[in-house]
Chain A
Amino acid sequence: MAVLVYIENPKGKIKKTGYEVACYGAQVAKSLGTDCIGLLIGKTENAGAVGEYGPSKVIHINADQEVEFDSQSFTKVITDVANEHKANIIILAHSANGKALTGRLAVRMNAGNVSGANSLPDTSGGFVVNKSVYSGKAIVRYNITAENKVISVMGNTLKPQAISTAVSPETRTAPLAATNTKVIERKISEGVVPLPEAEIVVSAGRGMKGPENWGIIEDLAAALGATTACSRPVADSDWRPHHEHVGQTGIAIRPNLYIAAGISGAIQHLAGVNNSKVIVVINKDPEAPFFKAADYGVVGDLFEVVPKLTAAIKKFKH
């Protein structure tokens, strides 16, 4: 028995969610009295740092090559390592690539799986993991009864903490199975924390009146070290890029702090953000439904309130 953690490394760098799942896997292993092994595929800076977050061993496959993600070939590599080390639990991030892998891994391992877990397992009477369902309107407690288990973990489920020391990765080469898929292009906003990983998100909606007014939102986000997001009508009108759209048809996020300016809070929007730890709503309409889902509310004109908030944040941080 062992716990295997697959750690993503886009462009050769370990993401925050990578450290989160390393911590998660190490804590699961500890509660079961077994070992946690970290697994990386392809060229990665400072792969051994994974050990600082708990895994006692790190396996680094094809460390000298840049490897493009493909769910089919990665599934084979990950399950081969799991079988070799008799790992019956695989942990990974519930990210874009994680979502493409988790179901495949479950099938190949003949495992019970929970995709998008947001708690550590309760092993007192089974192996029970929580997951948000019905677009955040309920939580289900799943008991994974199968011997083999695959869990993809939502971002920000736990805070990654360095608790140990770096380890020297065991490097090896493994041929990735040839598949019929190849990546030909990637377009990503540079230098921005991706929304699913962001701890603070500043979001705005139709109340902004037009894309030319977004400067105040970007200023607030910069002051907070936050990532910007938007509501559906804003993305649909091309005021902001599609990947910033949070909500039912966009992406679901769970930051520690979600600040929404000029968003009324339609149920479809709430579905994507209601797992945020703290919600601040700024809206000039006191009847905006979003206030019912908010922790803090400011009834006022966002064009006045947002710059004042930015100034207050700057003063606080100074």
Chain B
Amino acid sequence: MNLLVCISKTPDTTSRISFRPNEKEYNTDGVSFIMNPYDEWYALVKALEITEKNGGNVTVINVGPASNDIIIRKALAIGATDAVRVNLENPDAYTTSANIAAHAKNKSYDIIFTGKETIDFNGSEVGAMVAEMLDLPFISYASALEVNGNTSKITRDIEGGVEVCQVEGPYVLSASKGLAEQRIPNMKGIMMAKTKPLTVLDPISENARVTIEKFILPPGKSGVKLINPDDMDELVRLLHEEAKVI
């Protein structure tokens, strides 16, 4: 099977969030970047499990600048066969998707994986966009997947439970927790990653459909009001009269 995994670079979960004085750009000073956890832990590892069982290749694709090679090499170290990077600085979801779709169009991938969302923009957009651009089925928030030949049985998270669906032929899937278990690259994998092919492609450009007007930091909490544990009537009163939530 030929599988494509879309990977994205995001600030580490614990990063402090701040913005440049123009309020339009994320301040990357002192921030460490990682492969988006949903892409790495669930999408990539599930793709590897499938090819380990059925044979085939896992290609990873990233749309971004050369500084993203660090996460691409990590994906290769974890076990991807080869990689593609579309050379573009700060693409939005639409442009990212258009470039992934342009690459995937004639490659007959059996499954295209993304994470359920990136932990920076939390958009859940790229998988759906790539699917529409390629006119393929899209199964979002997959937490289990069984592949049998041309048929896949997929469990997806929905409100209050799960839905199980069956897909024939190629499709796009976004991965959520449970799809696979995180793998740590070993020394052999890290060494091998250095010689695995990484193809750099020129981007296609898209008109901006959405622009960032500014980033705002949410107003901080004014401080916790501590309530005597023996006086829960007081908490109820505050929730009713002050917070007005009950």
- A positions within 8 Å CB-CB of B: 10, 70-72, 75, 95-97, 99-104, 106-108, 110-116, 126, 128, 130, 132-146, 179-189, 192, 194-197, 200, 224, 242-243, 245, 248-252, 256-257, 267-268, 271, 274, 277-281, 291-301, 304-305, 308-309, 311-313, 315-316
**Closest beta carbon of chain B to A295's beta carbon, Å:** 6
B69 touches A (CB below 8 Å): no
- Residue pairs across A and B with Cβ atoms less than 8 A apart, 5 shown, are A72-B136, A113-B125, A183-B165, A224-B246, A292-B221
- Let me know if A316 and B240 touch, CB within 8 A: yes
B176 surroundings in chain A (CB, below 8 A): 249
- Let me know if A102 and B166 touch, CB within 8 A: no
- Choose among B13, B94, B216 the residue that contacts A271 (Cβ–Cβ < 8 A): B13
B13 surroundings in chain A (CB, below 8 A): 135, 248, 267-268, 271
B184 touches A (CB below 8 Å): no
A183 surroundings in chain B (CB, below 8 A): 163-165
**Chain A binder among B76-84, B105-113, B152-160, B189-197:** B152-160
Q: In the complex the two chains form, what is the Cα distance from A200 to B124 in whole Å?
A: 25
B232 surroundings in chain A (CB, below 8 A): 298, 305, 308-309, 311-312
A245 surroundings in chain B (CB, below 8 A): 177
- Choose among B125, B158, B169, B236 the residue that contacts A102 (Cβ–Cβ < 8 A): B125
B160 surroundings in chain A (CB, below 8 A): 188-189, 192, 194-195, 243
B67 touches A (CB below 8 Å): no
- Choose among A187, A281, A295 the residue that contacts B162 (Cβ–Cβ < 8 A): A187
B153 surroundings in chain A (CB, below 8 A): 184
- Let me know if B128 and A104 touch, CB within 8 A: yes
Q: A72-B137, A99-B141, A100-B138 are in contact. Are A295 and B225 (CB under 8 A)?
A: yes
Q: In the complex the two chains form, what is the Cα distance from A141 to B215 in whole Å?
A: 6
- Choose among A143, A250, A298 the residue that contacts B226 (Cβ–Cβ < 8 A): A298
A128 surroundings in chain B (CB, below 8 A): 213
**Closest beta carbon of chain B to A247's beta carbon, Å:** 10
Per-position 1/0 for B115-156, Cβ under 8 A of A:
000011111111111011101111111010000000001001
B141 surroundings in chain A (CB, below 8 A): 96, 99
- Let me know if B212 and A299 touch, CB within 8 A: no
- Let me know if A195 and B159 touch, CB within 8 A: yes
Interface size on B, residues (CB 8 A): 80
Write the chain B residue with the least CB distance to A110: B209
**Closest beta carbon of chain B to A122's beta carbon, Å:** 9
- Let me know if A309 and B159 touch, CB within 8 A: no
**Closest beta carbon of chain B to A290's beta carbon, Å:** 9
Write the chain A residue with the least CB distance to B120: A134
B204 touches A (CB below 8 Å): no
A281 surroundings in chain B (CB, below 8 A): 224
- Let me know if B243 and A115 touch, CB within 8 A: no
B245 touches A (CB below 8 Å): yes
Write the chain B residue with the least CB distance to A284: B229
- Let me know if B177 and A249 touch, CB within 8 A: yes
Q: In the complex the two chains form, what is the Cα distance from A199 to B129 in whole Å?
A: 31
